[in-house]
Amino acid sequence: MPIEAIEGKRATEADLRRFVAGLLSAAGADAPSAAAVARAVIDASARGVDTHGIRLIPWYLEMLEGERINPRPRLTVSATASAVGHVDADNGFGHLASYRAIEEGCRIAAGTGIAAVTVARSSHHGATGVYTLEAARQGFAAIGMTHADRLVVPDGGREPFFGTNPISFAIPAPGEAPLLLDMATSAIPFNRVILRRDTGTKLPPDVAVDAGGATTRDPHEAVALLPLGGAAFGYKGAGLAAMIDILCSAFTGMLHGAAMESFGGPDYSRPIPIGHFFILFRPADFFGAETCDARLAALLSGLRSQPAAPGRKVMAPGDLEKAEADRRRRDGIPVDAATWDALAAAAARHGLPLPPATDTGPHA
């Protein structure tokens, strides 16, 4: 899906990261938690993943101030087998726990060649791809996934049962930034519905349903999503969602998505613990680094040189986000007007200044 234009304000990556960390700290989060959330959401915003970027901060503040999120968690790390690790997030921010899981996974895989790390008693961790990307930057291929509360209608069903249950793959690539795939197993993430509400734009066709179960393009009428593949081929997305829910619940000890309370408010007074699941491995351990790099380079070259349809460009996974990150790190990261206003109100409550910013114009 193309990266959408945003009207609002624009600020530098460094200024936004400092601002977000300061705002979370002022709201009570400890320094490691505030830094991890700021790092994750601003990385997502920089790459154009606006649904899981800075626009989540007002919601995170609600959960933090309502005591759903533990502001000062004591993470514990344990091992249940030579290549299996476990992180207990202590009901803190999922971002901190997920970065810790990647750190532990890299440590284990450096010795064994492969690692599986689960996270339990966690919370929403933003874009799953920021964590697999971190592993790939350290030389490991990674698969990451998380589950969520019920927002997605199962194939053939009328009511939501699955979460959007995203999955991400990241692979180190020779001579360039890692490849990255990060996607929901729903037709779109529900945060895109919320973003469309804020920006006043319609949804794509056949991605969401209203209270009566009919498809709708009105983001204000949308109450649930169709699985990846839509009405005709949704069994594919629904099948993926089921497997991810199993790995993130049965393998972590957490409830499955349909058994969770809703992530939405207004009651944020108690935790809704969720699980994450990560697998890391060293590509060179399978058939040697030289052969692996050569085969990957040949595939990427062949893919990117494929004839393109009119008005289109053939890209490898993550190419679009890489280009957007280059642009935004040069020109600044856009923040939509509704999010900026919410951040301004939060900053005023805590006596903090907003970061320096300029207007984006109509086509940021």
The pair phi, psi for residue 302, each rounded to 5°, is -65, -40
Q: Mean of the pLDDT values across residues 246-258?
A: 98
Parts of the chain belonging to CATH 3.30.60.50: 188-225
Per-residue pLDDT reduced to its tens digit, 36-59: 999 999 999 999 999 999 999 999
| pLDDT the model gives residue 217 | 96
Question: For residues 9 and 331, what is the distance between their CA atoms, to the nearest angstrom?
Answer: 12
Q: How far apart are the first and last CA of the chain?
A: 16
Whether the per-residue pLDDT at 343 is higher than 80: the answer is yes
- Domain 188-225 is found in CATH 3.30.60.50: yes
Residue 160 burial by Cβ neighbours in a 10 Å radius (0-12, 13-18, 19+): buried
Cα–chain center distance at 19: 20
Residue 98: the pLDDT is 99
> What are the tokens at 311?
């008005």
For residue 292, give Cα distances in angstroms to 82, 282, 295.
26, 11, 5
User: 99-122, pLDDT tens digit by residue?
Assistant: 999 999 999 999 999 999 999 999
β pairing state of 274-281 and 141-146: antiparallel
Q: Is the pLDDT of residue 364 over 70?
A: no
Say if CB 318 and CB 177 are below 8 A apart: yes
Max CA pair span of the chain: 57
213 pLDDT band, cuts 50/70/90, is confident
pLDDT tier, 292 (very low <50, low <70, confident <90, very high otherwise):
very high
Taking 60 as the threshold, does the pLDDT of residue 362 lie above it? no
The dotted CATH code for 74-187+229-318 is 3.30.1370.60
Does 4 score more than 80 pLDDT? no
Parts of the chain belonging to CATH 3.30.1370.60 = 74-187+229-318
pLDDT confidence tier of residue 231, bands split at 50, 70 and 90: confident
Nearest of 59, 162, 92, 124 to residue 276 by alpha carbon: 124
For residue 229, pLDDT over 80 is answered with yes
Residues 6+ apart with CB under 8 A from 90: 70, 73, 74, 75, 76, 121
Percentage of the chain lying above the pLDDT 90 cut: 88
CATH number, domain 1-65+329-358, options 1.10.1530.10, 3.10.620.30, 3.40.800.20, 1.20.120.80: 1.10.1530.10
HEC string of the chain? CCCCCCCEEEECHHHHHHHHHHHHHHCCCCHHHHHHHHHHHHHHHHCCCHHHCHHHHHHHHHHHHCCCCCCCCCCEEEEEECCEEEEECCCCCHHHHHHHHHHHHHHHHHHHCEEEEEEEEECCCCCCHHHHHHHHHCCCEEEEEECCCCCECCCCCCCCCECCCCEEEEEEECCEEEEEEEECCECCCHHHHHHHHHHCCCCCCCCEECCCCCECCCCCCCCEECECCHHHHHHHHHHHHHHHHHHHHCCCCCCCHHHCCCCCCCCCCCCCCEEEEEEEECCHHHHCHHHHHHHHHHHHHHHHCCCCCCCCCCCCCCHHHHHHHHHHHHHCEEEEHHHHHHHHHHHHHCCCCCCCCEECCCCC
- pLDDT value, residue 156: 86
Mean local confidence (pLDDT), 167-186: 97
- pLDDT exceeds cutoff 90 at 329: yes
The Cβ-side half-sphere exposure at 273, using a 13 Å CA radius, reads 16
Q: What is the pTM of this model?
A: 0.94
Compute the average pLDDT of residues 296-308: 97
pLDDT recorded at residue 1: 61
The gap from C-alpha 272 to its chain's centroid, in whole angstroms, comes to: 18
How many Å apart are CA 258 and CA 261, to the nearest integer?
Answer: 8
**pLDDT at 82 (0 to 100):** 95
Separation of alpha carbons 139 and 119, rounded Å? 22
| Number of CB atoms found within 10 A of residue 156's CB | 9
Mean pLDDT of the chain: 95
Residue range(s) of every CATH 1.10.1530.10 domain in the chain = 1-65+329-358
